[in-house]
Chains A and B, each alone.
Chain A
């Protein structure tokens, strides 16, 4: 008997013995199974800034886990060796949700990130681990492409503290041709998460010739400002030739600097540049008085002068989760 998975907008109809588009949700004798539940293939301690998250417990470490599989198939995927791998070919660890929480405590991490591939496809594992983590006083972060249906998203948001959503482009054509997905569910994901009180940051990988035109950047920034608010942090990330897009050059630093300039001129308050070192590209400035409140070099925080989440100079509140 076929089963239909209604987790993501792909609504895969899965034949017995086969998997959905994500490779990890399988029809076993008419039962939908998440075959990577409890079996992460990556478990590491990262700086939280690497996610990227600049307004969430800065300077802390975050236990980061991932199973194989993804429901997007981006031609430029930076983690394709793990995201586009079949579970049959993968090496994994046996780690229950309770074990993940114990690992986070053992490594003195105040939060857990569900990251590297996409937590949407290992949804049940993410949800159960988030619940255990919350009970243990830890925070939960999703690093995602945001391709998830609204009912499961709403359930997950009850136990998630922050999400950083990779908004690939403001073009449905880009999503269809480059990622084998669609744009609208991703935008809805961000709006719903924000409306449910989850801290939201966004990132955009700027790929030469594909989404680096000034009008592309401006459209993306305007949408963020109008739908998520000017306080939403945006990270422009530099592209490096990867996977099935080795023919394109890396993003020039000047393109990222221009993107940042456009975002600030449109009215976004917190705009960062990642994968490339630019002066002030990783620093947090108070939007009211322009004083640097958090100084960073790459993923390393060197100075945090925030006082209870506010600028020490003008006392303006800075959007984020600070403790």
Chain B
């Protein structure tokens, strides 16, 4: 089967690109991706009250 020089070059470039893309897949998977950390808000949107020591010592009424 005959092949032109241009076609041969395209084939080589395609194989190279695919190899690099395939080879980088495990590396990309191993690297821990960063996530976007939220910033804290200056004020609480609800109501604030002081924390009482007696309340802290009391077992939580919530499950868990």
Contacts and interface: CB of A to CB of B under 8 A. Distances in A.
B5 interface: no
A93 B52 CA distance: 10
A90 B62 contact: no
Contacts of A28: 41
Interface string B19-55: 0000000000000111111111100111111110101
B62 A5 contact: no
A34 B56 contact: no
A7 interface: yes
B41 to A, nearest CB: 4
Contacts of A64: 60, 64
Interface string A19-58: 0000001101001111111110011111100110000000
B32 A143 contact: no
B40 A7 contact: no
B47 A91 contact: yes
Nearest to B60: A44
A91 B64 CA distance: 20
A295 to B, nearest CB: 21
A226 to B, nearest CB: 23
A296 B58 CA distance: 21
A33 B45 contact: no
Interface residues on B, range: 20 to 34
A116 B56 contact: no
A131 to B, nearest CB: 13
Interface string A122-148: 011100000000000000000100000
A87 interface: yes
Nearest to B31: A151
A87 B44 contact: yes
A235 B20 CA distance: 48
B48 to A, nearest CB: 6
Contact of B46 (A26, A44, A47, A89): A89
Interface string A88-104: 11111111000000010
B5 to A, nearest CB: 46
Nearest to A155: B32
A124 B62 contact: no
Contacts of B34: 151
B50 A93 contact: yes
Nearest to B51: A93
A124 B59 contact: no
Given A89-B46, A124-B40, A6 B35 contact: yes
B6 interface: no
Given A90-B47, A91-B47, A107-B57, A78 B63 contact: yes
A66 to B, nearest CB: 7
A90 B56 contact: no
A149 B51 contact: no
Contact of B38 (A32, A91, A106, A115): A32
Contacts of A143: 64
A229 B62 CA distance: 30
B57 A35 contact: no
19 contacts: A6-B35, A28-B41, A31-B39, A35-B44, A50-B60, A79-B64, A86-B46, A87-B44, A91-B46, A91-B49, A92-B44, A92-B47, A103-B51, A106-B53, A113-B64, A116-B62, A116-B63, A151-B35, A152-B35
